[in-house]
Structure 1
């Protein structure tokens, strides 16, 4: 694999498992702190273009699958920038406590990047695994792209969630069935994980997959993030990466969900963060150490399966 840190917020480049590799030359650090203010929560057009340019100037292109770490989930829409560089049909497998599927506003932001990915010519499908968040309570009120769910372009598998109240008609799929005014989800906490992974892989329409992981899909014991968190066990996440790599070709991966202090240079992004984030807090060194430990586990897993 080719390991890179896009250093937007300082949260991962200084972590021991990544700093050691950067110092040894086995990981690359891409400086992007100057772009963070125009990328956090919502990507400005100019900042997005500049980030794309910096990514494109890397040496060693084509030598192994790229794996990117880039900090807070406030930047998860960086995934859509990374996917825009893919040049073959691909399925995105997305681990997250949030579906990131809102249709309005139609910007490149951390809550809508899945739609931007689906607009790319080579992205065939996005499979989202693990949400427990309130995004599913009344998804139509939150401008969820349920049309893509009904069409099979998004497959959503919550870890655990009550039925979603809806007014439209969306039919049924492997991940849900509609009964009256509710979508009843297939909660993964209630199924055999190995059996689910087998069904998931059989339904992936492309040989190539891209993995994107927001660590807020994990419980607080396994991550310290800027967002409300889910319940997916870390062991399940690692098992999924290994199984997917064994039966499909991983052409790239990215990881976010580290904690960093939200800093904004304009009131627009600050206001969005105020209403969308859970209450701000300052984590302890022990909480931040959890992220370094889990990132080390993910790096070790990627090294095994992408070698």
Structure 2
């Protein structure tokens, strides 16, 4: 049985009953000034509320909180590769070095000494000056080749990669279908996955989109846990 953690950054999961049944929940709604970005002081407050044990898959909320991935990455105690599904390349410069943001968090992740490389999967290939970041589009062969010699993998999914006909998040959407994400996830050997997180929830009270998001979340959970998962205590 896999472990699931929900971070109540807003109210994104309150109506996703099938996800709630599977998860331990941490309420972060009382922490102010965390939407889109946070100071490292605020990030520390958030970290202090997280359980000190492994949770294979963490639901972060809207894409505004994708930077919370960093908290789980920095706890990994062995060399690993990060695979990110996203409509955006989140390595933009931040206006103040005292902040981490949903658009800049890869810059923080890249400094982690145990992170070997980042593979960003997005609808359109972008160039980047950082040699540790590799950007690919929907290309199963390319992903398989990139992961060929990787021993440990962390997966981070922002559902804004999806075409808006499948799900409308609060960010501009890409052109993927849920099935395209699942196809790529199935390439990743499950015994190599150290952990995963999922964000990209729709507006809190749009019932139609919430129902679609819940269905997609269950698809992603199933794809990530289809095979036996290596149980490792990577959270100290």
1:184 maps to which residue? Answer: none
Q: CA RMSD in A?
A: 2.1
Q: Counterparts in 2 of 1:269-288, with a 5 A limit?
A: 284-288=206-210
Which residue, 190, 195, 199 being the options, matches 2:141? Answer: 195
1:73 maps onto 2:68 in alignment = no
Instruction: Please identify which structure carries the higher helix content.
Output: 1
Give the alignment's TM-score, normalised by structure 1: 0.68
Q: Confirm or deny: 8 A CA contact 2:151 2:192 kept in the other structure.
A: yes
Q: Confirm or deny: 8 A CA contact 2:82 2:155 kept in the other structure.
A: yes
DSSP-derived class of the 1:230 partner: coil
CA 1:112–1:131 in structure 2 vs 1: closer, same or farther (change >3 Å)? Answer: farther
- Please say which structure displays the higher CA radius of gyration: 1
Which residue, 82, 86, 95 being the options, matches 2:85? Answer: 95
1:224 maps onto 2:168 in alignment = yes
2:76 maps to which residue? Answer: 86
CA 1:217–1:124 in structure 2 vs 1: closer, same or farther (change >3 Å)? Answer: same
2:194 maps to which residue? Answer: 251
| Offset at residue 284 of structure 1 (A) | 4.2
Unaligned runs of 5+ in 1: 22-26, 140-145, 160-187, 262-282
Give the alignment's TM-score, normalised by structure 2: 0.87
Equivalents in 2 of 1:147, 1:76: separation in Å?
A: 22
Higher relative contact order (CA 8 A, sep 6+): 2
1:31 maps to which residue? Answer: 27
Which residue, 126, 151, 155 being the options, matches 1:211? Answer: 155
Q: Confirm or deny: 8 A CA contact 2:169 2:201 kept in the other structure.
A: yes
